[in-house]
Amino acid sequence: MTKDALTRSIERVDLPALVCELWPESGARPGRAGVCRAVWRGDTHPSLSLFQARGMWFWKDHGSGESGNAFHLLLKAGMSKDAAAELLKNRAGSGETVAHEASIKHRASLRPVRGLTPAEKRALEAAQQRLDEEAIRGRGITLEQARQVGLGKSRQGDLVIPILGPTGEVQAIKARLREPREGFRYRYLTPERGAPAWYSPGFGQDAGRPVIVMEGELNAITSWFALEGRADLLGIPGVEGRVPWEGLTGRRVYLYADGDPGGRRAIGRWKEEGEAVKVAMFVLEPLEGGLDACEYAARWGQQGLAGQLLQE
C-alpha cells in the first residue's frame, strides 16, 4: 500500500528539532533523544520523553500518560489538524528552506500574541467576575489588587492569571489549580501561546527603576504591589522558564528564586545568560523560613516583604 504524504512526513521528521524550534524553552535538542518540558501545558519539570523506535520518532508525556508520533504531539499542543499536517509535510517534502520558513510561521502562531480571541476574552471576563477572596487566599494581595491585574476564578475554583506582556497586553492565560492534577499545580488555558513571562503594569516606562526577575508569576504580582512602583517585575514561569533578556539591556537587574535546589539552579542559569548579553545583575537572598513571596506577604504583610526585597 502506498503511504500518503502525511505518513511519510511523520516518519521522516526530526521530532526533537521540531520541538526545539517551536518551543525553545522546552530544552529539546535536534536529533537527540531525551526528556524535555511540555511547555504547552505549563510543564515546570521535564516530563516529555522523545525517543526513536524502528527509525521513527515518538513521544511520551509522563505527566499525562499520553504518547504518539509528531502529528499527535502537535494536536495535543493545540494545533489544528490542517495546520499540523501542513507543517509536517512542508518540513519533510519541500526542501530545507521552505521547511524552515514553515516552521517559523507556525512557531509564531504558538508564541505569545497581542490580544485575545473573542472567545478567550469572554472566558477571561467571566472568570474575573467570579473572583472572590477565597480564590486569592494565601497569595498576599487584596481583592482590589487582584482585580487591578485582572486575576479571575474558574468555575472549578482555580485562580486564573492573565500573563501580561511588556505593553500591558494579555499574552497568555494560566490557571493555578485549586487541587493539583497528575502532580501539576499550574496549566495554561491558552496552550498555543507558549509560556511567556509576566510583566508588571507600566514595565519600562521609567528606565531608572530596577528590574526584579522572579520565580513565579504570582510571586512577582505580590512583590510588585509590595514595592509600590519602586521596581519593575518579571514573573518567570517556574525555574525552567525563559528570561526575556532582550528587553533588559541597560537596566539594573536583580534575580530572585526560592532557596531550594531548583531555585539555585535557576539563579545560576540566569546569571550565565545575563552575563552573555552584558546585563548588570545582582542576586537577592531567599526569603527567611523558606517562604516564597506570596507566603511571606501573607504572613508578614506586604511591607515586610518589601523590606526583605529592598535589602541589597
Give residue 303's pLDDT.
95
Give residue 28's pLDDT.
86
More confident residue, 227 or 9: 227
Q: What is the mean pLDDT of residues 59-63?
A: 91
More confident residue, 86 or 57: 57
Enter the pTM of the model: 0.68
Q: Which of 7-21, 182-196, 226-240 has the lowest mean pLDDT?
A: 182-196
Q: Is the dihedral of CA 168, 117, 108, 35 positive or negative?
A: positive
Q: What is the mean pLDDT of residues 63-80?
A: 86
Assess contact for 250 and 278: CB atoms under 8 A. no
Q: What is the mean pLDDT of residues 282-292?
A: 92
Q: Say if residue 105's pLDDT is above 50.
A: no
What b/e string do you get for 275-312 counting C-beta neighbours within 10 Å, with b at 16 or more? eeeebebeebebbeeebbbbbbbbebebebbbebbeee
pLDDT confidence tier of residue 129, bands split at 50, 70 and 90: very high
Q: What percent of the chain has pLDDT over 90?
A: 51
Question: In the sheet that 198-199 helps form, which strands lie side by side, from edge to edge?
Answer: 198-199, 232-236, 211-215, 252-256, 280-283
More confident residue, 205 or 43: 205
Which triple of cell numbers denotes residue 208?
531608572
pLDDT confidence tier of residue 51, bands split at 50, 70 and 90: very high
Q: Say if residue 176's pLDDT is above 90.
A: yes
Q: What is the mean pLDDT of residues 249-273?
A: 92
pLDDT confidence tier of residue 39, bands split at 50, 70 and 90: confident
Amino acid at 113: V
More confident residue, 98 or 267: 267
Assess contact for 46 and 12: CB atoms under 8 A. no
Q: Is the dihedral of CA 168, 206, 251, 270 positive or negative?
A: negative
Give residue 41's pLDDT.
76
Q: What percent of the chain has pLDDT over 70?
A: 89
Separation between Cα atoms, residue 141 and residue 152, nearest integer Å: 13
Give residue 183's pLDDT.
67
Separation between Cα atoms, residue 60 and residue 73, nearest integer Å: 9
Closest by alpha carbon to 54, among 23, 10, 5? 10
Measured CA angle at 221 (ends 185, 251), to 5 deg: 120
Q: Please name the residues in contact with 47: beta carbons below 8 A apart, sequence gap of 6 or more.
A: 35, 37, 38, 61, 62, 63
- Which backbone phi and psi does 13 adopt, to 5 degrees? -65, 140
Q: What is the mean pLDDT of residues 286-307?
A: 94
Q: Considering the chain, what is the average pLDDT of its residues?
A: 86
Q: Are strands 56-61 and 48-53 parallel, antiparallel or unpaired?
A: antiparallel
Q: Is 195 helix (H, G, I), strand (E, B) or coil?
A: coil
Q: Say if residue 187's pLDDT is above 60.
A: yes
- Which backbone phi and psi does 213 adopt, to 5 degrees? -90, 115
Q: Say if residue 95's pLDDT is above 80.
A: no
Q: Say if residue 255's pLDDT is above 90.
A: yes
| Rounded alpha-carbon distances, angstroms, from residue 124 to 113, 114, 200, 224 | 16, 15, 19, 22
